[in-house]
Amino acid sequence: MCLSPSLAPASSNVQHLVVSSIHKLLTATSNFSAASLLFFISFYNRYDDVTVAATSLFNRYDDVMVAATSFFNRYDDVIKAVSRFLSISNADLIVAARSFLQ
């Protein structure tokens, strides 16, 4: 699968990392492919969109959020994106995430 030409070569390694990592989480119980996830990253060039898309497809919020957060070190951005998608407050989401991570 070809990457969007607008993506910088430096981001290729990051894209490969999230594809392989989140793919491992999702393929255990689904038919979601690495190519599908890479498409979201290429099309949007935004990792929070990938998180929301994967969450909406598989209802595996915790695993997807933790994977995206750990690999991109973008906890606040991921929290905000998923909060908007799930229509719950950041405070509730942070409490849930902390309890999940302990």
73 DSSP 8-state letter: T
Give the chain's domain count: 1
Backbone angles phi, psi at 76, to 5 degrees: -60, -45
pLDDT in tens, 43-82: 555 656 666 666 665 555 566 666 666 555 566 666 666 5
Asked whether residue 22 is assigned to any structural domain, the reply reads yes
Q: Look up residue 46 and give its amino acid.
A: R
Residue 2 lies in a domain: no
In a domain, 23, yes or no: yes
24-42 confidence digits (pLDDT tens)? 555 554 544 555 555 555 5
Give the pLDDT confidence score for residue 16 in this predicted structure.
Answer: 56
Residue 41 forms part of a structural domain: yes
Instruction: Name the band, by pLDDT with cuts 50, 70 and 90, for residue 21.
Output: low
Domain coverage including residue 52: 12-101
Question: Six-digit token pair at 3?
Answer: 């990457």
**Structure tokens belonging to residue 86:** 């799930």
Q: How many CB atoms lie within 10 A of CB 20?
A: 12
Residue 3 lies in a domain: no
Q: Please report where in the chains the tokens 């229509």 appear, as a residue.
A: 87
Tell me the C-alpha distance between 54 and 62, whole Å: 11
